[in-house]
Amino acid sequence: MMKKRVLSGVQPTGNLHIGNYLGAIRNWVEIQKSYENYFCVVDLHAITVPYNRDTLAENTYTIAGLYLACGIDPQYSTIFVQSHVRAHTELTWILNCVTPINWLEGMIQFKEKAIKQGENVSVGLLDYPVLMAADILLYDADEVPVGEDQKQHLELTRDIAIRVNNLFGSKDNPIFKVPEPLIRKEGARVMSLTDGTKKMSKSDPSDYSRINLLDSPDDIRRKIKRCKTDSIMGLSFSEDRPECNNLLSLYALFTGKSKEEVAAECANMGWGQFKPLLADAIIASLEPIQNRYKEIMKDRGYLDKLLQEGREKAEAVANATLKRVKSAFGFLPL
């Protein structure tokens, strides 16, 4: 039987945090043997907001290195850099011309980022979801494992695919495969350590709001010590205790214990007793990832070779799709 294909990506904007790991990469690692996988570092997405050109290339290495350190295995998964495969930008242009502008103006993430940025919002930021649709549709992905926050972008991708199929394809000859989201409930939403009602985010100005995959044990202890809690006696998973919910969930995810086990274990604990346990669990889980990461980053030659091989494999698939699309849209063939 043919394996189903998945594609996903992470932006090379600085460090990854445990929300990215638990909500995305860890799940990719778990399923990689039963799928044909494409994981890209989406550097073209990273330039849709003001960015630092001096760190873009290094951050691209960092994400590729973290993919490997977290357990993405090149034997099962193709790792590549988005900007290395030209078909991504070319398909984006073509999709731009069939995507109604108001579909993009309604995107939650665009509106949030645009408000944050104020005046100088780029065309690229508005177009971000079309580039993401191109990423996915180029590979005929069956499923797209993403965090909860990307659900709307995935729906847009499906809408674009269906629209193109209706406009230029036929029932027996669809142009695009319409992808399904693969969103795991557990761990899909890790919340900020300073506000349990907000998602943990790379762009939060306070580093105390998140735990980065490359944080030292001291950093992790300090952040857990300072994180927001409440003053209710005993710890419990309850709707009206967002911080407590988040921290207990993290404890369950990092120890591999079930929610029920954690609820029982922590029912009579206070924060002073619980916090060191949580910090220890996080440190123990991140340590092997950090050690592997350090090893990988010492050998840039290996990383370059891996990304080159990844590019070649990705290109073969992407170029074939692009050719099919251009032919369906009526372009004069090369």
SS3 per residue for 79-91: EEEHHHCCHHHHH
Q: Which of 4, 151, 177, 202 is catalytic?
A: 202
41 binds ligand TRP (CB under 6 A): no
125 binds ligand TRP (CB under 6 A): no
Residues 169 and 186: beta-carbon distance below 8 Å = no
Residues 27 and 144: beta-carbon distance below 8 Å = no
> Does residue 151 carry a catalytic annotation?
no
42 binds ligand TRP (CB under 6 A): yes
Going by C-alpha positions, the residue among 38, 8, 321, 315 that lies closest to residue 169 is: 321
> Does residue 199 carry a catalytic annotation?
yes
Q: Name the residue whose CB lies closest to ligand TRP.
A: 9
| Residue 222 exposed, middle or buried by CB count within 10 Å (0-12, 13-18, 19+) | middle
Please pick, from the candidates 17, 26, 45, 84, the single residue that binds ligand TRP as defined by CB under 6 A: 45
CA 228, 262, 291: angle at the middle one, nearest 5? 75
156 binds ligand TRP (CB under 6 A): no
Going by C-beta distance under 8 Å and a sequence separation of 6 or more, which residues neighbour residue 237?
A: 244, 245, 248, 249, 259, 262, 263
161 binds ligand TRP (CB under 6 A): no
Instruction: Return the range that interacts with ligand TRP (CB under 6 A); candidates 2-10, 164-172, 249-257, 276-284.
Output: 2-10
Q: Which of 4, 199, 313, 323 is catalytic?
A: 199
> Does residue 111 carry a catalytic annotation?
no
- Nearer CB in complex with ligand TRP: 64/224: 64
32 binds ligand TRP (CB under 6 A): no
- Nearer CB in complex with ligand TRP: 7/95: 7
Residues 14 and 60: beta-carbon distance below 8 Å = no
Going by C-alpha positions, the residue among 220, 189, 223 that lies closest to residue 206 is: 223
81 binds ligand TRP (CB under 6 A): no
To which residue do tokens 């799928």 refer?
Answer: 35
For residue 120, the Cα-to-chain-centroid distance in whole angstroms is 25
DSSP, residue by residue, 110-159: HHHHHHHHTT---HHHHHHHHHHHHHHHTTT-SEEE--GGGHHHHHHHHH
Q: How far is the CB of 160 from ligand TRP (least distance, A)?
A: 13
Site size toward ligand TRP (CB under 6 A) is 13
191 binds ligand TRP (CB under 6 A): no
Please pick, from the candidates 150, 246, 285, 321, the single residue that binds ligand TRP as defined by CB under 6 A: 150
130 binds ligand TRP (CB under 6 A): no
Residues that bind ligand TRP (CB under 6 A): 7-9, 11, 42, 45, 132, 135-136, 144, 146, 150, 153
